[in-house]
Structure 1
Amino acid sequence: MTEPLVDAATAPGRHLPGVSADATAGPVAVQVRRQVWGRRRLVVGAALAPGLLWLLVQAGGGWTPAAMPGWVALLAVVAVVGGLTLASYVPARGESWRDTLGCSPCAAVSGGTVLAAAFLVGQAPHQVGMALPALAVVLFGLVQRTSSTRDACVR
């Protein structure tokens, strides 16, 4: 899921001009990691999206002739984004579950946004006015999960 991000000043074999190799050979204080989306996560996200769509439609009043196609399409987008958010918790190859899940209570907030979206859709069945905030909530969860830098968990 994540790989260390090394800048040019601390990369092995790279030295800053005018600075000795000994001055740049110290350990990096903070390990910054970036999100890596592999096939495993994309497959999990695609597998979760239909189930999430069903959950959102049921929470929002079910399939009826009164359901607008725009509402269903918006819920499909919410389901895809929610599936990708939940798929971000699947560890990448060679990574532990503990590092993937995160070590802080904030790491669970992104997964909770999927449930919050279902709650919002259920507040006003078949209304686009509540599906839009649901989309905003799951987008927030995905952005938080993929853009935050995390330190490796202490073992």
Structure 2
Amino acid sequence: MSPAPRRAVPDAPSEAPPPVPGQTAAPLPVRVRRPTWGRRRLVVGALLAPGLLALLVEADGGWTHHLTPLWLGLLAVVAVVGGLTLASYVPARGESWRDTLGCSPCAVVSGGTVLAAVFLVGQAPHQVGMVLPALAVVLFGLVQRTSSTRDACAR
């Protein structure tokens, strides 16, 4: 059996069609930016991580003599990911604060995931079972903040 012959696809027109009366104009093009991780954001993330770790430990019952290494390690990972999430709000070189923060309510959600993680670990002190959902929440915030393309704010 021979393969089916390929049909030629006509080229797309190079010009936009004329506007139709009664139809609204096409939206203006949006400048899409990709977040860049420069030295500035990495330093801020590294500076925030120990403070977040201390906050998470205090919310989770404080330092005691019977801490498990798994609990402390997972809490440290939550602190690092939370620090990187918050550091994503620091403007890169050449960006304005307004463009970095974002213009939609969704831009705030990522920062709120760090607070949600603190709340989650405080619900069951020294339990790995509550650190894992906290880790999932801050990972969601970091992924949302870094993977979605953000639009530049209208001026």
TM-score by length of 2: 0.82
For residues 72-92 of structure 1, the C-alpha deviation after alignment (integer angstroms, 9 at most, x for no partner) is 000000000000000000001
2-structure distance, mates of 1:147, 1:82: 16
CA-based RMSD of the aligned residues comes to 1.7
Structure-2 change in CA distance of 1:19 and 1:120 (3 Å): closer
Paired positions, count: 134
2-structure distance, mates of 1:32, 1:91: 16
The residue correspondences of 1:112-123 to structure 2 (distance < 5 A) are 112-123=112-123
SS at structure 2 position matched to 1:92: coil
Percent identity over paired residues? 81
For 2:60, the equivalent position in structure 1 comes to 60
Tell whether 2:69 aligns with 1:69. yes
Q: Is this contact kept in 1: 2:59–2:118, CA < 8 A? A: yes
The residue correspondences of 1:1-155 to structure 2 (distance < 5 A) are 23=15, 29-155=29-155
1-structure distance, mates of 2:123, 2:66: 17
2-structure distance, mates of 1:77, 1:121: 13
Q: Is this contact kept in 1: 2:86–2:111, CA < 8 A? A: yes
What's the CA shift for 1:19?
Answer: 8.3
Structure-2 change in CA distance of 1:41 and 1:19 (3 Å): same
2-structure distance, mates of 1:66, 1:112: 30
SS at structure 1 position matched to 2:110: helix
Q: Give ranges in structure 2 of 5+ residues lacking alignment.
A: 1-10, 17-27
Task: Work out which of the two has the higher radius of gyration on C-alpha atoms and give 1 or 2.
Answer: 2
2-structure distance, mates of 1:42, 1:105: 25
Moved over 4 A (4+): none
